[in-house]
């Protein structure tokens, strides 16, 4: 038992160290985010200390205190959460460090409280710390090629962005593109093996630089009205969608359609789903038959 406890503590400690090493590189406000992670780490360290004290009490034939018992339960749950994440079916974001993960059923009941971003299952670890804006992703390149313009010139003036939706409607499309299959030929097994869904919590207090493009799209260019996560309308020129490039050129959004959410900043996923849990979530929310 003592060896098992040591393994669990070592596993959690390595995960915390890995988290601290990556956060500062991938967030726009590394000082503030590091402060939050340090607070979480201090809470976990206190829990770990109480858990060890509780285990020692049991080994000595004494009853652990209620606080020690709670800490032991929290540590076990933390280890389960982390192991689930590395297994690749439910990958928690950093906000879940030391906390119990919600069930897929609970996530499905809160479907409308989230935004969604789809990639492929192989990229889960790459997206764990942030969905970064891209300049000229594969989808955008296809649109650019279809426009008849010089693709390289067009993409060199495109604002790097990431895309999100109100519903988890892009999972099947992404799998079809990954497998080079017609959309109607994508199976549930394909989605289980290759599908991916990053869930973003609309209530995240640090979710700020993300905007919804309305029914009119961006027909009025930088003067188009877009809506922030709190429901406030602002002109697009007040967002990061229109900006100066590294060489003085004007960067503008390309490929943005109506009723889409876009961001020019790294967005941390609340949680990511792949495999059986992804299929279950899609079925519970009516997005997969």
Same structural domain, 47 and 186: no
Higher pLDDT pick, 101 / 17? 101
- Of 89, 121, 152, the one marking the end of a domain is 89
Residue 46 lies in a domain: yes
For residue 6, being part of any structural domain is answered with yes
Number of separate helices (H) and strands (E) present in the chain: 10, 11
Note the pLDDT of residue 192.
Answer: 94
* Rounded average pLDDT over 252-279: 90
- CA–CA gap between residue 173 and residue 188 (Å, rounded): 13
- pLDDT confidence of 23, banded at 50, 70, 90? very low
Q: Are residues 55 and 157 in the same domain?
A: no
Could you tell me if residue 98 is inside a domain? Answer: no
Q: Is the pLDDT of residue 12 over 60?
A: no
Query: Does any domain span residue 214?
Result: yes
The SS3 call for residue 165 is strand
Instruction: Quote the DSSP letter at residue 161.
Output: B
pLDDT tens profile 111-169: 999 999 999 999 988 888 889 998 766 666 666 666 666 667 666 778 888 999 999 99
Specify whether 35 is located in the same domain as 124.
no
Same domain for 127 and 79:
no
Confidence of residue 174 (pLDDT cuts 50, 70, 90): very high
Judgement on whether residues 58 and 184 belong to the same structural domain of the protein: no
Residue for token pair 């260019």: 221
pLDDT given for residue 15 in this prediction:
46
Q: How many domains does the chain have?
A: 2
Residue 78 within any structural domain of the chain: yes
Q: Are residues 154 and 230 in the same domain?
A: yes
Contact 39, 47 (CB under 8 A): no
Q: Which residues span the domain enclosing 81?
A: 2-89
Does 254 lie in the same domain as 188?
yes
Asked whether residue 289 is domain-assigned, the answer is no
Instruction: Spell out the alpha helix ranges (H) of the chain.
Output: 2-26, 30-59, 66-87, 104-109, 124-127, 138-147, 151-156, 171-179, 188-194, 275-284
272 located within any domain: yes
66-87 vs 30-59: helix crossing angle, rounded to 10: 120
The predicted pLDDT at position 71 comes to 75
Mean pLDDT of the chain: 79
Whole-model pTM: value is 0.67
Q: How many CA atoms lie within 13 A of 255 on its CB side?
A: 25
Higher per-residue confidence, 13 vs 118: 118
pLDDT digits 0-9 by tens, 210-222: 999 999 999 999 9
The answer to whether residues 206 and 239 belong to one domain is: yes
For residues 45 and 239, which has the higher predicted lDDT (pLDDT)? 239
């Amino acid at each position: 038992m003592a060896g098992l406890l040591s393994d669990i503590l070592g596993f959690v400690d390595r995960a915390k160290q890995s988290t601290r090493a990556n956060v500062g590189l991938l967030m726009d406000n590394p000082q503030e985010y590091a402060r939050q992670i340090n607070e979480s780490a201090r809470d976990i360290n206190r829990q770990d200390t109480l858990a060890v004290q509780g285990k020692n009490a049991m080994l000595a034939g004494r009853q652990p205190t209620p606080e020690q018992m709670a800490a032991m339960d929290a540590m076990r749950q933390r280890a389960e959460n982390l192991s689930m994440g590395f297994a690749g079916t439910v990958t928690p974001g950093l906000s879940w460090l030391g906390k119990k993960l919600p069930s897929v059923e609970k996530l499905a009941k809160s479907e409308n409280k989230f935004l969604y971003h789809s990639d492929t299952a192989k990229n889960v670890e790459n997206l764990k710390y942030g969905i970064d804006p891209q300049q000229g992703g594969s989808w955008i390149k296809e649109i650019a090629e279809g426009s008849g313009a010089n693709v390289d010139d067009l993409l060199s003036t495109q604002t790097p962005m990431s895309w999100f939706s109100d519903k988890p409607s892009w999972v099947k499309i992404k799998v079809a593109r990954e497998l080079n299959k017609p959309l109607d030929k994508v199976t549930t097994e394909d989605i289980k093996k290759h599908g991916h869904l990053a869930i973003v919590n609309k209530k995240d207090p640090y979710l700020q630089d993300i905007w919804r493009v309305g029914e009119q799209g961006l027909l009025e260019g930088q003067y188009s009205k877009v809506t922030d996560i709190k429901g406030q309308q602002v002109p697009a020129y007040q967002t990061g969608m229109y900006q100066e490039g590294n060489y003085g050129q004007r960067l503008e959004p390309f490929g943005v359609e109506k009723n889409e959410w876009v961001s020019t900043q790294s967005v941390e996923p609340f949680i990511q789903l792949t495999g059986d849990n992804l299929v279950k979530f899609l079925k519970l929310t009516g997005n997969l038959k």
